[in-house]
Structure 1
C-alpha cells in the first residue's frame, strides 16, 4: 500500500495565520500607546513569545499528520497525542460529517474515540476488536469505534479500504 499522510488542520490553520500576522501589529500598537518602558518591555516579551508559540503550533500541525502505512493508521494532533490503530482491526470505514462540539481534541463517548477539529469529524471507523486508548488524566478507555477529522476524507477512505 505504501505510506500516505493526511492533514487535519485546514480548518484551524487560517485562524493561526491571522493571529501570527496580527501579533506584530499588536506589538507595534503597544509600543506607540503605552508610555511606560517597563510595561512595553513586558508586553513585547509576551508578544514575541505568542508569535513563537503560534509558529510552533503551525509547524507541529504540518509535521505530525495522520498516516496510513501497510499495517497501521496513525491518528495524531500535533505533539499532543498519537494513536496507532492496526488496519487488521478496522471492520468498516465510512465518510460523513458529524458535529459533537465536545470542546476537546480527543474524547471517548459511548465507546467511540472522537478526535474532532472545530467540533467536527468526517471519517468513522468501526473496529472488529475493541482497542484500549489512553486519554492521559482522563484514564484508559475501551473503544469499538473511532471518529476523526481529515482534510481529505475521500483519500483517507480509499487508503483504508485497500
Structure 2
C-alpha cells in the first residue's frame, strides 16, 4: 500500500525508483525476520525445553530441572531480547512475557558479552502459552 501511495504522490521518476527499491528491500527483510521467528521457535522434545529467538540465541533447559510452570502476562520493559534480572532469565517480545518457569536446579546462561549468569527462573513469550504450559507440566 505504501509503495502505491508513494508512486501516486512523488512526481519524480528517479525518486520513485529509489523509494520503490527501499520499500521492496524492507518488505523482504520483514518477510525474512518473520520466517526466522517461525523457523526457530521455542520447542519441547523428550529431554529439553529449547528457547530460541531467530538465530540470535538458543538455550537448552533440561526438563528434569523444570519445577513450577505458570502462565501470566508480565512487563519489565528491559528493551533487550534477553536479560538476567535477579536470577531470572527474561526473554521479552514487545516488552512482555507470558510464561514463567521456576527451576529446581540453577542453570548457567551465557549472554555473550554480558557474561554467564546463574538463573533459577525463566520468563519468556510464546505464541501459545496454554499449549506450552500444558506440555511442560506433563
Match status 1:104 vs 2:80: yes
Name the counterpart of 1:95: 71
TM-score by length of 1: 0.77
Runs of 5+ in structure 1 lacking a partner? 1-24
Match status 1:82 vs 2:73: no
Return the alpha-carbon distance in structure 2 between the equivalents of residues 152 and 47 of structure 1: 32
The range that moved more, 48-57 or 74-83, is 74-83
Name the counterpart of 2:114: 138
Report the alpha carbon displacement of residue 53 of structure 1 after superposing the two structures with TM: 0.9
Name whichever structure is richer in strand by fraction. Answer: 2
Report the alpha carbon displacement of residue 36 of structure 1 after superposing the two structures with TM: 2.8
Match status 1:26 vs 2:11: no
Give CA deviations for 1:7-44 in whole Å, capped at 9, x if unaligned: xxxxxxxxxxxxxxxxxx22222222223333222211
Aligned pairs, number? 138
Secondary structure of 1:141's aligned partner: strand
Name the counterpart of 2:37: 61
Secondary structure of 1:79's aligned partner: coil
Pairwise CA RMSD: 1.6
Counterpart among 11, 34, 42 of residue 35 in structure 1: 11
Residues 79, 33 of structure 1: alpha-carbon distance in 2 compared, 3 angstrom cutoff:
same
Report the alpha carbon displacement of residue 51 of structure 1 after superposing the two structures with TM: 0.6
Report the alpha carbon displacement of residue 69 of structure 1 after superposing the two structures with TM: 0.7
Secondary structure of 1:126's aligned partner: strand
Secondary structure of 2:99's aligned partner: strand
Match status 1:72 vs 2:48: yes
Name the counterpart of 1:161: 137
TM-score by length of 2: 0.89
